[in-house]
Amino acid sequence: MYQFSGKLKTFSIALMIIGALGVGYSFLTAPKTVEDAKEIIASQHDSHETTAATHAPATDSHEKTDSHSNAKTSEHANDEHAEHVLHALQNKPWAATYVALFFFLGISLLVLTFYAIQRVAQAGWSIVLFRVMEAITANIVPASILMFVVIMTSAGHLNHLFVWMADGTFDPASPNYDAIVDGKKWWLNIPGWTVRSIVYLVGWNVYRFLTRKWSIAEDTANDGNKIYKKNYHASVVFLVFFMITESMMSWDWIMGLDPHWFSTLFGWYVLATLLVSALTVIAFVTIYLRSKGHLPFVNDSHIHDLAKYMFGFSVFWTYLWFAQFMLIWYADMSEETVYFIARFNEYKLPFLGMVVMNFVFPILLLINSDFKSRPWFVVIGGLVILAGHYIDVFVMIMPATVGDQWFFGIPEISALAFFIGLFIFVTFRAFANAAPLAKGNPFLQESEHYHYYNIEHEGEENHH
């Protein structure tokens, strides 16, 4: 049995504490009043002028009444702008936490899905990785609890991440009335949204609880594969549930941030982002544990397979990214292009940079078959893939919540640190709670002897 202790545990707890302090600090220092926001605008204005030459004049043009560029702006418009900035800055710590939370919840969920796919496909190669995957899925529990908190605070108007939840959106008499959102009322309404969100979280957690319990029971069951079949059936049901809830989750939790905009492949797009990140995380945890000698049965072919998936799903992600972009670019309908205009105007570097990180870099690094079985290559490629997909989630969420007030600063780094710490703590604690090898699985032998014919095994201890 693996023991989770020592430096790694201290490190994870330290990361959580630092992250929690940083998140707390950014909540406390968010501006409270319009006056605070005006001060911040004034200080931004100063730095703006010193670097004015490097800024394109249209950078802030999404605000028609932009006080930066128009000297004759009335006092009223100035107040309106300040209020807008105030809301963006008040959203910022929420949005920064939400980006990291969604990323980690999504990774845990997609590891669970990948695991369920292995069970349903009755795959032979991956059995030796089952306990690693199960350990990662343990993160679903704390991530779901935190997500539940965000859901309840959003529904209770304690944060303003979702603009359509504002008072009066559905009231024709209100100045906040939004006819387009009102037309989507049958889907976008707070009770429905809250109930759906809770159903997703509960459903995923129930499957995770059952499959983990049965997987451990299988180790000593010796029952003619009865539990194995039970797990198989549960995984089939989960995959059906997942396919529906994943799409709906991405509409509710991400696309709902831009309630006027829609993209019919958005569920797929979010899936691709989370899936490639999930595979990278499986590879990372596997490589780490193997390097410490806890997974002597994992050989280079298993790493090679994970890297193949990382490579393949990077291409898949790019395909969806481009398919979404090109159709909207070509059709040029204003209600659709607004999404990309916001990103090209204010998020150009992260928005285009992530395409290089998520496509060009993995393609060049992981296309060679030999490289895919070398752990340090997989780690380098994986770090860029994970950073790139974090930015991807960032660019999905930030434009709608904080607009041009984005920055990668204390709230973002702290939230990320907190969730990395939480991830390490939960994953390795769960890994220590069960035998590192799923002994009872009928395909175990096939997995242990797995050898992709085209590569030489080097990294493992037991040479065949």
Partner 1 sequence: MSNKVIHAFYNDDEVVLDAVKKVKAAHHHIEEVFCPFPVHGLDKAMGLAPTRIAITSFMYGVLGLSVAIWMTNYMMIQDWPQDIGGKPNFSWWLNMPAFVPILFELTVFFAAHLMVITFYMRSRIWPFKKAENPDPRTTDDHFLMEIPVHDNEEELTTLLKETGAVEINVVEKH
Binding site for partner 1 (CB under 8 A): 322, 325-326, 329-332, 453-454
Which is nearer to partner 1, 195 or 356 (by Cβ)?
356
- Write the single-letter amino acid at 75: E
Q: How far is the CB of 329 from partner 1 (least distance, A)?
A: 5
Q: How far is the CB of 425 from partner 1 (least distance, A)?
A: 42
Q: How far is the CB of 443 from partner 1 (least distance, A)?
A: 20
Are the C-beta atoms of 128 and 297 separated by less than 8 Å? yes
Q: How far is the CB of 367 from partner 1 (least distance, A)?
A: 8
Residue at token pair 């709230």: 411
Which is nearer to partner 1, 49 or 335 (by Cβ)?
335
Separation of alpha carbons 2 and 293, rounded Å? 10
Which is nearer to partner 1, 130 or 347 (by Cβ)?
347
Q: How many CA atoms lie within 13 Å of 226's alpha carbon, on the beta-carbon side?
A: 6
Which is nearer to partner 1, 91 or 318 (by Cβ)?
318
Separation of alpha carbons 108 and 137, rounded Å? 5
Q: How far is the CB of 331 from partner 1 (least distance, A)?
A: 8
Following DSSP, what letter does each residue of 183-249 receive, concatenated?
HTTTTS-HHHHHHHHHHHHHHHHHHHHHHHHHHHHHHHH-STTHHHHHHHHHHHHHHHHHHHHHHHH
How many beta carbons lie within 10 A of that of residue 40, not counting itself?
Answer: 15
Q: How far is the CB of 361 from partner 1 (least distance, A)?
A: 17
Separation of alpha carbons 242 and 246, rounded Å? 6
Which is nearer to partner 1, 187 or 325 (by Cβ)?
325
Which is nearer to partner 1, 74 or 369 (by Cβ)?
369
Q: How far is the CB of 263 from partner 1 (least distance, A)?
A: 16
Q: How far is the CB of 455 from partner 1 (least distance, A)?
A: 11
Q: How far is the CB of 171 from partner 1 (least distance, A)?
A: 38
Q: How far is the CB of 453 from partner 1 (least distance, A)?
A: 4
Which is nearer to partner 1, 253 or 321 (by Cβ)?
321
Are the C-beta atoms of 215 and 162 separated by less than 8 Å? no
Which is nearer to partner 1, 27 or 319 (by Cβ)?
319
Which is nearer to partner 1, 122 or 369 (by Cβ)?
369
Which is nearer to partner 1, 94 or 359 (by Cβ)?
359
